[in-house]
Amino acid sequence: MKILVTGGTGLVGKAIESISKNYNYEFIFLSSKNCDLTNYLQTKQLFQKEKPDYVIHLAAYVGGLFKNMNYMVDMFEKNVLINTNVLKCAHESNVKKLISCLSTCIFPDKTTYPINENMLHLGPPHNSNYGYAYAKRMLEIHSRAYREQYNDNFICVIPTNIYGEHDNYSLTDGHVIPALTHQCYLAKKENRPFTIKGSGKPLRQFIYSKDLAELIMWTLEEYKENENIILSVGEEDEVSIEQVALSIARSFDYENLIFDTSYSDGQYKKTADNNKLIKLIGNFKFTGIDDGIKKSVTWFVNNYKNCRK
C-alpha cells in the first residue's frame, strides 16, 4: 500500500518520515520542488504516476501572524488552488482514504471555550487571518461534499499549534515557536535583548510534531468515523506565549528578554477540546512543552546553516 504525503518535506511531513519505518507502507514524501499543487495538470500527472492508495494532505501556503495579515489574497487563493487540485485528483484516482490537515486558527473568533469539532463554521474567524482561515474552511466543506456526493473517505484532522524539528524559522513568516527560537539564537549571539513581539499573555495549545505524526497515522489506520477530529493536547496543557519564550530562553541558557507591547497579540486564546480524541485513543502520552522545545532548539542549533529560515 502506498501513502502520498503532500507537504512531505515540511514540519509534519518530516515528522511522519521519522516514524515511517514503524509502518508497513510505501511512503512518498512530496515537496513543492516535485510538483506545483496549484497547477491541476501537474497534480493530475503526479497522481497518475504514483497511484497512491492513501493521501495525507499537509501541503499549504502558510506563515505566522504577520504574513497572514499582510498577504490575505495569497493565503486564500493559493490554498484554495492546492486543496481543490489535491481533492479532485484523489477522487479521480480512487484514493481509499484522504486525510487533510486543518488548524484551530480557522475557528470562530467570537465563541465559547473550549471549541470542539462542531463549532468550526459558527461565526467568522479572527480578522488577522481570514484569508487563510476561509481557505481551510473550504477544504473541510469540499471534503464533506465529496463524502456526500461520491461516498469518498475524505476526512479532516484539526491540530493545534504544531512545533518541532524541520520547522520554518523565518523571523518574519515563521510561527511563534520557530520564530522565537531564531530570535533568541541571534539575540544571544549578538549579546542583545531577546525581544518578543506582543505582551506574551495569549494562550495556546502546542503539539510536538512527532506526536501529531503518530496521531495522523492512528487516524489513517484506526479512526473509522468520517467527521472532523481535533488532534491536540488537553486544555490543562495550555501555555502562554510568555511561558514559551521563557522555555526557549532557558534552552539557550539566556536570560535577557523583553516584551514589545507595541505589536499586536492576535487572538487571545483558542482553546480546543480533545475529549473526542482521548475517548477513542485512550491514554496517549504527549511530549511536554519544555521537553519538546529543548529538542527543537537543539535541532535548530545543530542545523542552523541548512534549515529553513
pLDDT at 270: 81
Residue 280 lies in a domain: no
pLDDT one-digit tens code per residue, 113-169: 999 999 999 999 987 788 899 999 999 999 999 999 999 999 999 999 999 999 999
- Has 132 been annotated as catalytic? yes
pLDDT one-digit tens code per residue, 67-110: 666 678 988 999 999 999 999 999 999 999 999 999 888 899 88
Residue 291 lies in a domain: no
Q: Is the pLDDT of residue 171 over 90?
A: no
Residue 264 lies in a domain: no
Beta strands 161-163 and 206-208, pairing class: parallel
How many distinct structural domains can be found in the chain? Answer: 1
Residue 6 lies in a domain: yes
Question: What's the mean pLDDT when you consider all of the chain?
Answer: 93
| Domain span at 72 | 2-163+205-235
The answer to whether the bond into 114 is cis (omega within 30° of 0) is: yes
Measured in degrees and rounded to the nearest 5, phi and psi for residue 127 equal -70, -10
Question: What's the pLDDT band for 279 if we cut at 50, 70, 90?
Answer: very high
In whole angstroms, what is the distance from residue 156 CA to residue 167 CA?
A: 22
pLDDT at 264: 80
Least confident of 18-22, 107-111, 212-216, 264-268: 264-268
- Name the burial class of residue 144, with classes exposed (0-12), middle (13-18) and buried (19+) by CB atoms within 10 angstroms of its CB: middle
pLDDT one-digit tens code per residue, 223-260: 999 999 999 999 999 999 999 999 999 999 998 999 99
In whole angstroms, what is the distance from residue 29 CA to residue 27 CA?
A: 6
Residue 98 lies in a domain: yes
Catalytic residue, candidates 54, 130, 132, 169 = 132
Question: What's the pLDDT band for 26 if we cut at 50, 70, 90?
Answer: very high
Residue 259 lies in a domain: no
Residue 139 lies in a domain: yes
**pTM of the predicted protein model:** 0.93
- Name the burial class of residue 133, with classes exposed (0-12), middle (13-18) and buried (19+) by CB atoms within 10 angstroms of its CB: buried
pLDDT one-digit tens code per residue, 98-127: 999 998 888 998 889 999 999 999 999 987
CATH number, domain containing residue 143: 3.40.50.720
Residue 294 lies in a domain: no
